[in-house]
Structure 1
Amino acid sequence: MKEYKKILVIINPTTDHQAALDRAIELASKSQATITAFLSIFDFSYEMTSILSAHEREAMRQGVIDQRTAWLNELISKINLEKIDINAQVVWHNRPFESVINYAIQGDYDLIVKSTHAHDKLKAVIFTPTDWHLMRKAPQPVLMVKEHDWPVAGKILCAINVASEDEDQQNLNGKIIQYAQDLALKFSASVHLVNGYPGTPVNLAIELPDFDANAYNDSVRMQHEQRVQYLADSYNIPIENCHVEEGLPEDVIPELAEKLDAELVILGTVGRTGFSAALIGNTAEHVIDSLNCDLLALKPDGYKSPLAE
């Protein structure tokens, strides 16, 4: 898999504590990557000051950019204890996610890292519209970070789809596992696979009196277990680290992540069936908002961002 050589970190301008930057420094220290601390800012009041000339408005914008750049450089100097190569980049843009994706594409970055918001009561990740745009439209892997460390001997959970024999989906499964194994090697973690399978359709059992729901359910479960085991064998993953559960992705993934106390869940965000398709739209929000750990969202190889077209 591709090593992390260039990491783009999205800075939160409302706080001095930058969980995403902390995580990026951890990653960079193990892969000799460089980091760009990226801050996108915008203020309508500067754009709508009609009494100022275009030159004066530009001067005011540049003044704000210079001020934020100075703040960002000072912040970096305080937390960059590993002495990683980090540079600051502040841009003026009215749509943060577009500025991030365009900059990441133009700079050929390998990873985008952003912190998430935790809900105090549920301890779940609450994603903003910018988060969702990044996960759906950025061609690079997107790592969403929570406020915790990655301990040694932690667990990485791969959400895979074995219901489809589509080549693109199978390649995405492989990509998810390879990313997990690379990170597991760097952080001495273990890799686990999770797959959900659908239960017996209620209407089918009602409309067909002779239908054996238990036999049908067992058959579906065995098929999924065999495919997961085959995939695990291909990547030398222990059978005890394979988890095949009946249920929908939005239930199975968060429940297992909590049960395992996983530090990271890796999943695909583009696909047509199974887990990957479920992670598009409202279902994705149910899955990801229920996680209490970091999330790495991957696109299939060859994915083209709509912003790059």
Structure 2
Amino acid sequence: MSIYSKILVVADINRDDQPALARATQLAAQSKSRSHILFFLSIYDFSYDMTSMLSSDERDAMRRGVIQQREQWMRKIAEPYLNDDFDLDVKVVWHNRPYEAIIHEVYEGQHDILVKGTRKHDMLESVLFTPTDWHLLRKCPTPVLLVKNAQWPHGASIIASVHVGSEMPAHQDLNDKMVEQLLCLSQRLDAMPYLVNAYPITPTNITVELPEFDPTTYTEAVRGHHLTAMKALRQKHGLAQENTIVQQGLPEDIIPQAAKGLNAGMCIIGTTGRTGLSAVFIGNTAEHVIDKIDCDILALKPQGYISPLDPNNTK
């Protein structure tokens, strides 16, 4: 079964070119089965709801008129991306919270992936994420692909930021999921796959508190553990050693460096799945990595993640 056959694409109302739609059609065209793309937009204008001179029916008629205009605009800008390899529909809804409307549509349409464009920050040459982006990264149950540029880089690679040092089943399952997505997407986008892992630097305070502590031996032991775990992961999925990178340092430093050095068009990251109040966080490491990467980001949730916006979630 091929992944991503039902794709939800969020339209960017501020531009005629649509990087997210370009990437989605690229994925759909390379799918082994026929894919379906829903080009989606959530709109809202406070003034339409506050016009006291109009009746509720008149306000509804005005909203329907705005929705129809946007649907026509979306069909027009979608025309350059259409071909016979996939089906495409357009949908516009009236909602004052875009991320809630988007996630509601994810559930209602049972979509496999959400694709949305991001803004590029001209000064820092990095991706600038909007509040809606962060809400989607934290709360969307499906994989979220945030797209920077419509054009896929020539000779690009795709990297997966795996956490091989952990022996927790949840982390290991997420690593497997990330590698599976990496291999599938690399084939569909004609890119070279890489696994990247950062292992921690020896804390300096340990050598002060424990004079008999040997930092060199400790560092080599940690490195050896991560190399062994990376070898097991790559062999499990049939990847060569030259397609793996294990380096000492913070993930928020190592991952962006690797992405730049390998000409990455996409970085796959795992986000921590939490419920309740902690669901507002996706994990400090992931947030810091995302802020520094200048390419597409594919964020995956762990197995069993339950969104706080899940209509079946009664908590």
Q: Which amino acid aligns with 2:236?
A: S
Whole-angstrom CA distance in 2 between matches of 1:284 and 1:167: 19
Q: Which amino acid aligns with 2:91?
A: Q
Q: Which of 142, 145, 151 is 2:144 aligned to? A: 142
Q: Which residue does the alignment assign to 2:12? A: 12
Q: 1:151 to 1:88 in 2, by over 3 A?
A: same
SS at 2:86 equivalent: coil
Flag structure 2 segments of 5+ consecutive residues without an equivalent.
275-280
- The alignment's C-alpha RMSD in Å is 1.8
Whole-angstrom CA distance in 2 between matches of 1:196 and 1:150: 26
CA contact (8 A) 2:273 2:306 kept: no
- Deviations along 1:139-170, one digit per CA (max 9) or x if unpaired, are 11111111153356531101111222111211
Q: Which of 120, 123, 128 is 2:122 aligned to? A: 120
Whole-angstrom CA distance in 1 between matches of 2:56 and 2:289: 46
Whole-angstrom CA distance in 1 between matches of 2:272 and 2:101: 22
Whole-angstrom CA distance in 2 between matches of 1:234 and 1:284: 25
Q: Pairwise mapping of residues 101-120 of structure 1 onto structure 2 (< 5 A)?
A: 101-120=103-122
Whole-angstrom CA distance in 1 between matches of 2:282 and 2:260: 22
Q: 1:80 to 1:43 in 2, by over 3 A?
A: same
Q: Which residue does the alignment assign to 1:36? A: 38
Deviation at 1:285, TM superposition (A): 3.1
Q: 1:124 to 1:82 in 2, by over 3 A?
A: farther
1:3 matches 2:3: yes
Deviation at 1:302, TM superposition (A): 2.3
Whole-angstrom CA distance in 1 between matches of 2:129 and 2:283: 13
1:70 matches 2:65: no
Q: Which residue does the alignment assign to 2:96? A: 94
Q: 1:283 to 1:168 in 2, by over 3 A?
A: closer
Whole-angstrom CA distance in 1 between matches of 2:153 and 2:293: 18
Whole-angstrom CA distance in 2 between matches of 1:67 and 1:213: 66
SS at 1:85 equivalent: strand
Flag structure 1 segments of 5+ consecutive residues without an equivalent.
273-278
Whole-angstrom CA distance in 1 between matches of 2:283 and 2:233: 27
Give aligned-pair identity as a percent.
Answer: 48
- With normalisation by structure 1, the TM-score equals 0.93
Whole-angstrom CA distance in 1 between matches of 2:166 and 2:79: 48
SS at 1:99 equivalent: helix
Q: 1:271 to 1:97 in 2, by over 3 A?
A: closer
Deviation at 1:83, TM superposition (A): 6.2
Deviation at 1:282, TM superposition (A): 4.8
Whole-angstrom CA distance in 2 between matches of 1:19 and 1:102: 23
Structure 1 stretch displaced more, 39-48 or 73-82: 73-82
CA contact (8 A) 2:28 2:85 kept: no
Whole-angstrom CA distance in 2 between matches of 1:181 and 1:291: 20
Deviation at 1:249, TM superposition (A): 1.4
Q: Which of 129, 132, 137 is 1:130 aligned to? A: 132
Structure 1 stretch displaced more, 186-195 or 169-178: 186-195
SS at 1:263 equivalent: strand
1:194 matches 2:213: no
